[in-house]
């Protein structure tokens, strides 16, 4: 009776979630590649890339839910970690262009030639190697989160104050990355990618592979989050969320727990960003804009804070709606709709879609007479009180 650490806590909804993601991850690429174009079951390439983007957003949502839903840390700057992971990948893709750029310089990316930079700045070294870039995808966001958290959590900055400084962090990065002399392409960012690991990023096969990898990463991130929240550490996180000083008086070093989970979350956000960039073909400073981070928090609130499946679902649902509405006559009103959505969810569905569904499901079970088993068997127990400002 000692199941593996990653699988011991898989309840039914988690299993369904993994099966759906795995199914989409396999079937969508297969349909795109094997079926003839124009067939009603063929998923066109632009949709593969679009859904790949949603899957990356779902990973970002999971990373936010891990800290917000389970530990009460409301980060309004998580887009920064996503963007840093994206920039790390973008730098690799820029170096892969080689002499095929407009200016044909074998080493310097076009924007550096344009700015008359004599040589590659030191912080671009190593990004021509995929393994190094892939490492930086974790290390850069993780390190920033570690340093940021080390200062913030030790100084016991909590609640809305922490949210504000995370917001300031991403805004500061936004301003920095906008500058040409920062060395990351200024407001144009990094784009015109050609190859990834020798494969053309525009090719159908590459897009399908990236989509498959994104789904695999989503499942991986989900399993990691699941393992964390269902361990005893997960119980400590809930304890910190619900009664931080009580946890301290029991002898837990609250700041270490927050630092661990915040850093882990930032690494996951970085991976999401790294998978996102080759699929959308560009990374620019607007990814750091505070609005992006707030939008990601809304996905989690809509799907169900403190339910991992909900976070991922919220990201897909809200972004699907965004695509749908911003491509029609309602486009100018999208931000109003998003704001209204957040207000309505907070008022009417404070537990989000999945949280509300779980409550309903449990009640139904109780009505059917095996209530004790229903509430005892539910391991997540995590549907928090609606307190977005926590």
Partner 1 sequence: MNAMETRTTSAILYLDGVHVSFDGFHAINNLSLTLEPGEMRAIIGPNGAGKTTMMDIITGKTKPDEGVVLFDGTTDLTRLDETRIAELGIGRKFQKPTVFESQTVQDNLLLALNVDHSVRGTLFWRGNKAESERIDKVLETIRLTDARHRLAGSLSHGQKQWLEIGMLLAQDPKVLLVDEPVAGMTDVETHLTAELLKEINRNHTVMVVEHDMTFVRELGVKVTCLHEGTVLAEGTIDQVSSNERVIEVYLGR
| 101 versus 304: smaller Cβ distance to partner 1 | 304
| 251 versus 329: smaller Cβ distance to partner 1 | 251
d(CA 86, CA 303) in angstroms, rounded, equals 24
Cβ neighbour number for residue 224 with a 10 Å cutoff = 17
Rule CB under 8 A: choose which of 15, 370, 375, 387 binds partner 1.
375
d(CA 127, CA 87) in angstroms, rounded, equals 11
List the structure tokens of 297: 């928090």
| 242 versus 367: smaller Cβ distance to partner 1 | 242
Based on C-alpha coordinates, what's the Rg of the chain? Answer: 22
**Is there binding between residue 246 and partner 1 (CB under 8 A)?**
yes
Binding range to partner 1, per CB under 8 A, among 109-117, 215-223, 249-257, 313-321? 249-257
Binding range to partner 1, per CB under 8 A, among 12-20, 242-250, 290-298, 327-335? 242-250
d(CA 72, CA 240) in angstroms, rounded, equals 8
Q: Shortest Cβ distance from residue 366 to partner 1 (Å)?
A: 13
**Is there binding between residue 238 and partner 1 (CB under 8 A)?**
yes
**Is there binding between residue 253 and partner 1 (CB under 8 A)?**
yes
DSSP string for 55-75: HHHHHHHHHHHHHHHHH----
**Is there binding between residue 248 and partner 1 (CB under 8 A)?**
yes
Binding range to partner 1, per CB under 8 A, among 198-206, 218-226, 251-259, 345-353? 251-259
Rule CB under 8 A: choose which of 3, 245, 328, 347 binds partner 1.
245
d(CA 153, CA 382) in angstroms, rounded, equals 23
Is the CB of residue 187 less than 8 Å from the CB of residue 284? Answer: yes
Shortest CA distance to 67 belongs to which of 372, 348, 311? Answer: 311
- Please list, residue by residue across 116-131, b when 16 or more beta carbons sit within 10 angstroms of its beta carbon and e when fewer do: ebeebeeebeebbebe
**Is there binding between residue 252 and partner 1 (CB under 8 A)?**
yes
Rule CB under 8 A: choose which of 76, 236, 266, 275 binds partner 1.
236
Is the CB of residue 60 less than 8 Å from the CB of residue 141? Answer: no
Q: State the residue for tokens 């840390």.
A: 73
**Is there binding between residue 363 and partner 1 (CB under 8 A)?**
no
CA angle 245, 297, 169 (to 5 degrees): 75
User: Which of the residues 206 through 235 are near partner 1 (CB under 8 A)?
Assistant: 228, 231-233, 235
**Is there binding between residue 132 and partner 1 (CB under 8 A)?**
no
**Is there binding between residue 260 and partner 1 (CB under 8 A)?**
yes
Rule CB under 8 A: choose which of 99, 249, 329, 348 binds partner 1.
249
List the structure tokens of 118: 């004599």
**Is there binding between residue 153 and partner 1 (CB under 8 A)?**
no
Length reported for the chain: 390
| 179 versus 253: smaller Cβ distance to partner 1 | 253
**Is there binding between residue 387 and partner 1 (CB under 8 A)?**
no
**Is there binding between residue 3 and partner 1 (CB under 8 A)?**
no
List the structure tokens of 274: 């790294």
Torsion of CA 329, 331, 333, 334, to 10 degrees: 140
Binding range to partner 1, per CB under 8 A, among 95-103, 165-173, 218-226, 246-254? 246-254
Q: Which residues bind partner 1 (CB under 8 A)?
A: 2, 5, 228, 231-233, 235-236, 238-239, 242-243, 245-254, 256-257, 260, 372, 375-376, 381-384
């Amino acid at each position: 009776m000692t199941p593996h650490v990653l699988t011991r806590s898989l309840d039914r909804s988690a299993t369904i979630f993994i099966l759906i993601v795995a199914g989409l991850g396999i079937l969508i690429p297969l349909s795109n590649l094997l079926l003839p174009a124009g067939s009603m079951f063929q998923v066109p390439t632009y949709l593969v890339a679009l859904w790949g983007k949603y899957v990356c957003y779902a990973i970002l949502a999971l990373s936010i839910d891990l800290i917000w839903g389970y530990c009460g840390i409301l980060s309004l700057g998580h887009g920064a970690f996503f963007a840093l992971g994206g920039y790390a990948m973008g730098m690799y893709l820029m170096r892969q262009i080689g002499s095929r750029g407009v200016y044909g310089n074998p080493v310097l990316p076009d924007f550096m030639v344009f700015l008359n930079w004599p040589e590659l700045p030191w912080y671009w070294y190593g990004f021509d190697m995929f393994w190094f870039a892939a490492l930086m995808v974790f290390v850069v966001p993780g390190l920033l989160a570690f340093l940021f958290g080390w200062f913030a959590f030790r100084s016991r900055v909590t609640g809305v104050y922490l949210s504000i400084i995370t917001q300031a962090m991403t805004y500061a990065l936004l301003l920095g990355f906008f500058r040409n002399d920062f060395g990351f392409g200024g407001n144009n960012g990094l784009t015109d990618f050609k190859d990834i690991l020798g494969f053309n990023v525009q090719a159908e096969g590459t897009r399908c592979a990236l989509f498959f990898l994104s789904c695999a990463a989503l499942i991986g991130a989900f399993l990691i989050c699941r393992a964390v929240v269902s361990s005893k550490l997960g119980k400590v996180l809930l304890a910190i969320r619900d009664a931080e000083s009580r946890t301290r008086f029991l002898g837990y070093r609250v700041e270490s727990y927050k630092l661990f989970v915040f850093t882990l979350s930032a690494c996951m956000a970085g991976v999401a960003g790294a998978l996102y960039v080759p699929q959308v073909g560009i990374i620019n400073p607007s990814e750091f804009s505070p609005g992006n981070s707030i939008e990601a928090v809304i996905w989690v609130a809509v799907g169900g804070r403190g339910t991992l499946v909900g976070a991922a679902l919220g990201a897909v649902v809200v972004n699907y709606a965004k695509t749908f509405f911003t491509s029609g006559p309602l486009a100018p009103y999208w931000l109003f709709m998003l704001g209204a959505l957040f207000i309505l969810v907070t008022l009417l569905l404070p537990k989000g879609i999945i949280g509300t569904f779980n409550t309903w499901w449990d009640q139904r079970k109780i009505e059917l007479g095996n209530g004790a088993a229903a509430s005892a068997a539910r391991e997540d127990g995590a549907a928090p009180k609606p307190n977005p400002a926590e």
